[in-house]
């Protein structure tokens, strides 16, 4: 399907999405980076599902290489401001409205920015964790990420105030000599601090994965919003839903890994289509 951007095409897509939601009633929704781009947080992939920049840090590299951790934390001092300062977008608000109207059985997000919760969504599972807290990988000591950043900034004044473009999930497009950057380890046991996110090469905790699956089993249909589903941790749910014969739909600007499985697909801008869908649903409820 070709991308649609005209006002008429967006209106048609919104009405079709509203029809899908009205027909299925209880949706399992999975969201990705496209939902938060209007909030100023860059996404990873282009419309063809390919990387826009170098792939993000790998879990094994972060845990075994101090050089990787130096680079990661130095770049985060610059890039994480995009996450901290991000404001709720129209897509977040529209999805929260759908939940308030009773159409969302479960919302699973691959994002780590917590913007769904700030918008008012309550039935949220942060599949890949959250970026605003860090934990010691040895003893489990937890602290807010902004506090750790503040400490690292005091120890590394030469790395504060640098100018670089923002990258996904609090990273920055910064390439300098990181060898002098001092990484702070756990104050209790000396273990490695790591953001509470699932890095590439890591696995989603079993309890979180099972909770998302239980939500899927309670729903009548699945909808992907702003995600290519290229990462298996998200795609696996659509594969399971397809095996169970559930209707599957996608709203995104590009291709998805699940395209061959979809019942319906709208390749269109997220926020206006979601807002149109919510408006249609409200109108038909009022007319009933």
- CA 59-55-142 angle, 5° bins: 35
Residue 139, both tokens? 């003893």
CA atoms within 13 A on the CB side of 197: 22
Is 92 labeled as catalytic in the residue annotation?
A: no
Contacts of 260 (CB under 8 A, 6+ apart): none
The reply, when asked if residue 186 is annotated as ligand binding, is yes
The reply, when asked if residue 136 is annotated as ligand binding, is yes
Q: Which ranges in 85-231 belong to alpha helices (H)?
A: 90-100, 115-119, 145-155, 206-218
- The answer to whether the CB of 110 falls within 8 A of the CB of 31 is yes
The reply, when asked if residue 256 is annotated as ligand binding, is no
Q: Which candidate in 59, 92, 116, 128 is catalytic?
A: 128
The reply, when asked if residue 221 is annotated as ligand binding, is no
For the chain, what is the largest distance between any 2 Cα atoms, rounded to a whole number of angstroms?
Answer: 67
- CA 131-184-171 angle, 5° bins: 35
Binding-site residue set: 136, 139, 186, 189
Report, as residue numbers or ranges, the catalytic residues: 128
Binding-site residue set for Zn(2+): 136, 139, 186, 189
């Amino acid at each position: 399907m070709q991308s649609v951007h005209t006002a008429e095409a967006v209106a048609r897509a919104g009405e079709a999405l509203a029809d899908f939601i009205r027909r299925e009633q209880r949706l399992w929704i999975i969201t990705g980076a496209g939902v938060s781009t209007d909030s100023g947080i860059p996404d990873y992939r282009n419309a063809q599902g390919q990387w826009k920049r170098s792939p993000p840090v790998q879990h094994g590299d972060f845990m075994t290489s101090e050089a990787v951790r130096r680079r990661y934390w130095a770049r985060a001092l610059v890039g994480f401001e995009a996450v901290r300062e991000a404001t709720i977008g129209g897509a977040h608000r529209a999805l929260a409205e759908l939940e308030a109207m009773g159409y969302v059985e479960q919302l699973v997000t691959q994002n780590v920015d917590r913007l769904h919760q700030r918008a008012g969504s309550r039935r949220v599972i942060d599949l890949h964790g959250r970026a605003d807290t860090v934990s010691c990988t040895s003893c489990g000591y937890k602290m807010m990420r902004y506090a750790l950043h503040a400490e690292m900034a005091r120890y590394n004044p030469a790395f504060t105030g640098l100018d670089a473009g923002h990258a996904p999930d609090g990273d920055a497009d910064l390439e300098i000599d990181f060898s002098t950057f001092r990484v702070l380890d756990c104050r209790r046991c000396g273990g490695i601090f790591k953001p509470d996110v699932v890095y590439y090469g890591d696995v989603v905790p079993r309890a979180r994965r099972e909770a998302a699956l239980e939500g899927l089993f309670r729903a009548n249909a699945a909808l992907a919003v702003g995600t290519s589903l290229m990462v298996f941790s998200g795609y696996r749910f659509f594969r399971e839903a397809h095996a169970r014969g559930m209707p599957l739909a996608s709203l995104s600007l590009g291709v998805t890994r699940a395209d061959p499985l979809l019942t319906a697909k709208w390749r269109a801008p997220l926020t206006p289509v979601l807002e149109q869908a919510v408006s249609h649903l409200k109108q038909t409820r009022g007319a009933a």
